[in-house]
Structure 1
Amino acid sequence: MMRILAFFIFLTSSPAVEPLPAERIQAAAAFSAAHGGHALLIKQNGKTLHESYTNGHTKREPHRIYSGTKAFWCLTAFAAEKDGVLRLDEPVSETITEWQGDKQRRNITIRQLLDFSSGLEPLFGLHENEYKDRTVSALKASLVGTTGKSFIYGPASLQVYHELLGRKLREKKTTPTRYLERKVLGPLDLGSQRYLPDQKGTPLLAAGFMQTARQWCELGSWLLKHEEMVSQVKTSATNRAYGFGFWNNHAAEAASAREVDVEDMLDKKWHEQSWRNACLCRSAPADLIACVGSYGQRLYIVPSMKLVIVRLAYDKKPDDAHMLRLLFERR
């Protein structure tokens, strides 16, 4: 009987995951610290393999995660679809009715707002603190690209999504921010965040959150426990390396894969960017996904290795490919 039980346990146990070698972790930590790193946290199988703070920073110090904020707001869309509040592929104009008479805008879907394929101009000025009215500006944003075919990364599409979600939630007598806190931040044991409201009280969805390395790591750990959510982070039809607030390394498996510095590429005008066959690092696992924030803020998640990596920094020239190569390249 004991042999049968042991055999059953063997069959049902999760496959062993090879731990990251200590020497690779130390090499990555040294590289991070030498390039403006403030914090590096690495967890695998729920256990902390490495946690270090450099250049005078501490584990209790919240840090700007910049565009890492986007992923939290995008997760509200999955929750809202599950709750029957919206359908990702429904036209925005069903709710933003003032778009119904606009031939250019009336067929834009919610999914296209969130994967930046709506064609709307980015309107980076919306990032400004104390902006007068982000909603009015976003709803009037020019359509400068082809809907469904142009990848245009910027805050305008997300601010349109916020207005849409707000109108959807009125019947439930709640707001997008309260919905975010209940459906996304709450399960992560995170409270209210820094929302950078405009003069009308509308939060900035593209950036603003401040978190410690341990707090941001909770998002990665939660996703590892809910891998069905990772599968929902589908790539954009216009940029296979991006979807719903997360960058990915899918193309790394292809012979034609090319490593792209995301921050450097995003500094270019949208029509000058090239994302064809883009990956973060050819040596890293293809199932790696990442939140990428300005100046080296990173949350890497590798489901196949049960691995979460957080880096906080002030790094003017972050090099994902090099750091990931230090961690994953077999020598």
Structure 2
Amino acid sequence: MNYPRRHFLHLLSGLAVAPLAGAAETSLNVAGAAKYVAARKGYALLIKQHGKVIHESYANGAKKGEARRIYSGTKGFWGLAAMAAVEDGHLALNEKVSATLPSWQRGGKENITIEQLLDFNCGLERCLKLHQDGLSNRNQMALDRPLVGTPGKSFIYGPSALQVFHEVLKQKLKGRFLSESPTRYLERRVLRPLGLGSQRYLADAKGNPLLAAGFLMTPSQWARMGDLLLAQGKPVLKASSMGPLLEGSSSNAAYSFGFWNNRAADKMGAREIDIEDMLEVDWDRQNWSRVCIAKGVPKDLIACIGSGYQRMYAIPSMALVIVRQGLNARYSDGDFLRTLLG
């Protein structure tokens, strides 16, 4: 599969930090991390290393086996579906959206690519109303949103771009020998290989799911996403598909396809921020330059981030997968991770 040169170079750098089989156990401050989570309205903390659960605890009235909202953690699963569609030949990342959706052949949208939708740098108004229940046609509402930023240069985090991607995938899967909806495609290509069943899709009257949020998962279920990241895409994707999924974009190097990265952590002038707080600021006042999730933490850290500090972390170089679920509180990614990693 031919990706642009930047994809290939990033893939090589990602492989360099993959853990060696049988790597020595890292000394972790598990007790301190569990205490930190419990003291900040945390419900669950699950830690896996080398594929084995080394800690699992519940606090503040939570119990094992309870599925909770992962909010924007949902986005990463659709990012996997997008790369699966590339592997299966249904679409190309550099393909123009307007080639599939004629309504985008005007209004400045004609050159927007599928990759720009998935990186949230297509310039489309975010339209938070798309999160509401009872909508008649969520996809059409997204398609009709105006451009408020410059495609390729404006990071605008919100549900509208993903809903446009859903419409693209919907059209791509139509009329094939084994025609299926994007939801069924997601289940077959992503969820089932991960040992997960159907999810809460929050479909509108037309059957269009909300791609930006909605899934309910237990910590052990969400941790399977981390297992995939440590296994360089297995059992869903080829290792060669992981570069575009995790590389970031020109407008926000720390985000792409539902995944946040920590690659700026060791750079001069790196800025550790509260990502959720930054996303509350108007998009044109956000500053994503040299942003990292946590300083003093391996730069190969990958995170799926959901509202209220729902977190799934994967650190390939340490063979670690960590899930935190709970309520909104005075939680810090950096403080938690530095506590755990010592």
Alignment of 1:288-303 (within 5 A): 288-303=301-316
| Secondary structure of residue in 2 paired with 1:171 | coil
Alignment check: 8 A CA contact 2:314 2:320 kept:
yes
Consecutive aligned runs of 4 or more in structure 1 exceeding 6 Å deviation: none
Alignment check: 8 A CA contact 2:27 2:341 kept:
no
Residue 219 of structure 1 pairs with residue 231 of structure 2? no
Q: How many aligned residue pairs are there? A: 315
- What stretches of structure 1 of length at least 5 have no aligned partner? 1-12
Alignment check: 8 A CA contact 1:20 1:327 kept:
no
1:230 to partner: Cα distance: 3.8
2:276 to 235, 239, 263: 263
**What does residue 5 of structure 2 align with?**
none
CA–CA distance in 2 between the matches of 1:129 and 1:58? 28
**What does residue 113 of structure 2 align with?**
109
Letter of the 1:45 partner, please give it.
H
| Secondary structure of residue in 1 paired with 2:201 | coil
Residue 237 of structure 1 pairs with residue 250 of structure 2? yes
Alignment deviations for residues 124-173 of structure 1 (CA, whole Å, 9 cap, x no partner):
11001112221111001010000000000000000000000000000221
Residue 310 of structure 1 pairs with residue 310 of structure 2? no
Letter of the 1:115 partner, please give it.
D
1:241 to partner: Cα distance: 0.7
Alignment deviations for residues 20-49 of structure 1 (CA, whole Å, 9 cap, x no partner):
424x11111100010011000000101111
Alignment check: 8 A CA contact 2:303 2:311 kept:
yes
Residue 118 of structure 1 pairs with residue 122 of structure 2? yes
**What does residue 62 of structure 1 align with?**
67
Greater radius of gyration (CA):
1
Alignment deviations for residues 218-264 of structure 1 (CA, whole Å, 9 cap, x no partner):
11112212252543322111001111100010000112111011101
2:180 to 150, 164, 174: 174
| Secondary structure of residue in 2 paired with 1:144 | coil
Alignment deviations for residues 179-222 of structure 1 (CA, whole Å, 9 cap, x no partner):
00000001101010000111222100000000000000011112
CA–CA distance in 1 between the matches of 2:20 and 2:312? 24
| Secondary structure of residue in 2 paired with 1:149 | coil
Moved more, 139-148 or 215-224: 215-224
2:298 to 271, 282, 285: 285
Residue 321 of structure 1 pairs with residue 321 of structure 2? no
| Secondary structure of residue in 1 paired with 2:251 | coil
1:19 to partner: Cα distance: 2.6
CA–CA distance in 1 between the matches of 2:21 and 2:80? 29
2:39 to 27, 34, 37: 34
CA–CA distance in 1 between the matches of 2:21 and 2:137? 52
CA–CA distance in 1 between the matches of 2:54 and 2:135? 42
CA–CA distance in 1 between the matches of 2:331 and 2:219? 17
**Which is helix-richer, 1 or 2?**
1
CA–CA distance in 2 between the matches of 1:128 and 1:249? 32
Alignment check: 8 A CA contact 1:126 1:134 kept:
yes
1:164 to 165, 168, 173: 168
- What stretches of structure 2 of length at least 5 have no aligned partner? 1-18, 234-238
**What does residue 151 of structure 2 align with?**
147
TM-score by length of 2: 0.89
Alignment check: 8 A CA contact 1:216 1:310 kept:
yes
Seq. identity, %: 51
**What does residue 205 of structure 1 align with?**
211
Alignment check: 8 A CA contact 1:121 1:141 kept:
yes
CA–CA distance in 1 between the matches of 2:330 and 2:161? 27
Letter of the 1:30 partner, please give it.
K
| Secondary structure of residue in 1 paired with 2:161 | helix
Alignment deviations for residues 281-303 of structure 1 (CA, whole Å, 9 cap, x no partner):
11110000100000010000111
Moved more, 221-230 or 52-61: 221-230
| Secondary structure of residue in 1 paired with 2:193 | helix
1:246 to 259, 262, 277: 259
Moved more, 316-325 or 197-206: 316-325
CA–CA distance in 2 between the matches of 1:256 and 1:16? 35
| Secondary structure of residue in 2 paired with 1:161 | helix
1:16 to partner: Cα distance: 4.7
Two-structure CA RMSD over aligned residues (Å): 1.4
TM-score by length of 1: 0.92
1:14 to partner: Cα distance: 3.5
2:48 to 43, 50, 60: 43
Letter of the 2:157 partner, please give it.
Y
Alignment check: 8 A CA contact 1:91 1:110 kept:
yes
Alignment check: 8 A CA contact 1:295 1:318 kept:
no
Letter of the 1:165 partner, please give it.
L
| Secondary structure of residue in 2 paired with 1:42 | strand
Letter of the 1:35 partner, please give it.
R
